[in-house]
Structures are given as structure tokens and as C-alpha cells.
Copies of this chain bind each other. A is one copy, B any other.
Amino acid sequence: MTALKIFSDSPLDASNTRLLVDGTAPHEVLFPRTAAASVLAQAEPGPAFPLADIAFGQPDLESIRRSDKLKWIHVSSAGFTRYDTPEFRALVAERGIVVSNSSSVYAAACAEHVFAFMLAQSRWLPQALRSQTPNGSPEWFQLRGDSVSLRGQSVVILGFGGIATELVKLLAPFEMKITAMRRHPRGDEGFPTVTAEGLPAALATADHVINILPDNAASRNFIDAARLAQMKPGAVFHNIGRGTTVDQDALLAALRSGRLAAAWLDVTEPEPLPAGHPLRSEPNCFITPHIAGGHADESGTLVRHFLSNFQRYLTGSPLLDRIM
């Protein structure tokens, strides 16, 4: 067996670097001169890249284009905006390059994050944690009365995939009415799905709208003034997809008018949103700094996921999270 060369630009600590090197031996791992600061940033192209059969991380497009050896790219994030273009899809198709991503690594954490958003909203936690109101005060009655159980409520999930699948499991005890929007419904999702055409009717009755859309040409500003106007008055909007999929001016207007009860955003455009951005001071807009997929030993999970895909690659089994 010829030893394969794996180029990795993921920012790994010593123990996860060791895990990667040992887990792929006797194949060889090549590293760039400087690792990327995060899975979302792009590393400097490494001089070793042209030698690689496999790229694990966030390889830059020009290096991929120049390579005549590359057979598999394993993207170290769930999002893959920079690769999600007709040109790139044509390139990898022509070269026979397989592309997978790491959506499984982040799916459970992302689902738990947006579920935490939903419950925090349901119990009015941000307001309640600030309040020091005594029992029996008007503010106290309002806090108690504003809490609305998720039980039996309706939820629309924009984007069907690993995160939606995990989220639906967590929501099960609440017996919510779940509808997901999927580009090409297959009928095996386990709950009702609609395409974009069927979305207005679903939005009209949803108490929670959960946006998991990735960033691509079709999704940019998908949540615009028109779609916000289709939502049920008092709905809660959540975004753990990408900030670019939302027209933030329209979102702000929907919050200010009271059309939306609240927005919970883990992603914005840009990131971080400037301190003076009006969404930052909007009372019912809650923003976390793109951490939904984060979890303890994230790099370890990332490497183990790559290694399990590497074994599949070596044995010719179908790759996990294959996207192209």
C-alpha cells in the first residue's frame, strides 16, 4: 500500500495532533506553516499542499485548483460557503474529488444550543434573571404569565439535515407540531416537510421558526421582509445557520413593530455584529457569538470524525457527511 499524504490545516493542540498522526499512520500528515485560527478562517496555503492526496480542514480554493493529486477534501466545519459554488462543484466533479464536511461533529451541540434558546425564551430567562421583583408585584405576575410552554406549539425548521434530525429528537417530549423546509423532500424525514413553495402556509402558524440554512447564492436574504410578514404575529425567530441568510434591517423592523416576539441569533452579518448595531440594543434580540456548534473537546470530536471517515475512505465505504 502506498502511503497517502493528508494535508491538515485544522488548529489542533498537541494531543489532537498526536491523535491525527497516530490514527492515520502509516500514512503521512502534512501541516501548513501556520494553522488557521479557527475552523471558519482560512489558513495560509501550505507549501506541502501540492503533495497531498487528502485535505482535512479549510483548504484554499487556489491550492485545490492547482493540485493534480487531491482526491478527497474533508471540510472541518458544517458550513462550506467558500466551496458551495457552481464553479467549485464543476471542478471537483471533473477531477473526481470527493468532498465531505463535519456537520455530524457540530449537529448535536447546535441542536442543544437552539433548544436552549427555545426554552430560555419560553421561560423568559433573560428578563427573569435581571428581575429582582417581589412575589405578587405586577412585574412578577407578568413574568409568570408570559411564560408559554413549548408543549403543543408549532415549529418550522428551515433546512433539513443533521442538526434538524438531532433537534427533533430533543423536542419529542414536548409533542410539538414540526415542519421542516427541505429543497428536495424525500418523504423519509419522519415528520412533514415542505419546499419553499409550501413555506408561507407553514410560517403562518409557527410559534418558533428555526433557521439552519447555510450560506449560498440561494439562501442569501432568504428571511426577508416578505417572509417575516408571512410569520405568525408573536412568533420567535432563531438563527443558527448563517447571518447572510437574513435581511437584518427587515428583522429589526419586525422586532420593533412587535410582529416578532423575539429573535435569538447565534450568527449575524458581519460577525461579531458591531457594538453599536441596532440589533444589539433591541430588547428582544438575543445574540450569542457563533458558538452553537461548540462543545468540550471539539477538536477531538473533529479528529475522530475525520479518522472514522478516513477508515471508510481506505476501505471504499460511503463517506459520512458527503456533500459533493
Contacts and interface: CB of A to CB of B under 8 A. Distances in A.
A273 interface: yes
Interface stretch (A84-92, A112-120, A186-194, A312-320): A112-120
A322 interface: no
Copies of this protein chain in the complex: 2
A242 to B, nearest CB: 12
A129 interface: yes
Contacts of A258: none
Contact of A289 (B37, B134, B275): B134
Contact of A291 (B112, B115, B140): B140
| Most chain B CB neighbours (cut-off 10 Å) among A113, A128, A272 | A128
B294 A147 contact: yes
Interface stretch (A63-71, A148-156, A217-225): A148-156
Interface residues of A, number: 58
A150 B271 CA distance: 28
Given A41-B136, A151-B108, A125 B288 contact: yes
Given A149-B295, A173-B169, A296-B148, A289 B133 contact: yes
B129 A126 contact: yes
Nearest to A271: B135
Contacts of A141: 38
A151 B294 CA distance: 14
B116 A123 contact: yes
A113 to B, nearest CB: 5
A170 interface: yes
A287 to B, nearest CB: 7
A122 interface: yes
A241 B119 CA distance: 20
A162 to B, nearest CB: 15
Contacts of A146: 296
A140 B290 CA distance: 9
A145 interface: yes
B128 A122 contact: no
Interface string A141-178: 10111111111000000000000000001101110000
Which 3 pairs across A and B sit closest by C-beta, in order of nearness?
A144-B294, A38-B136, A116-B119
Interface of A: 37-38, 40-41, 108-109, 112-113, 115-116, 119-120, 122-126, 128-129, 131-136, 140-141, 143-151, 169-170, 172-174, 271-273, 275, 280, 286-291, 293-298
Given A116-B119, A128-B291, A140-B289, 10 more contacts: A38-B135, A38-B136, A41-B135, A112-B147, A119-B119, A128-B288, A134-B271, A145-B295, A147-B296, A149-B296
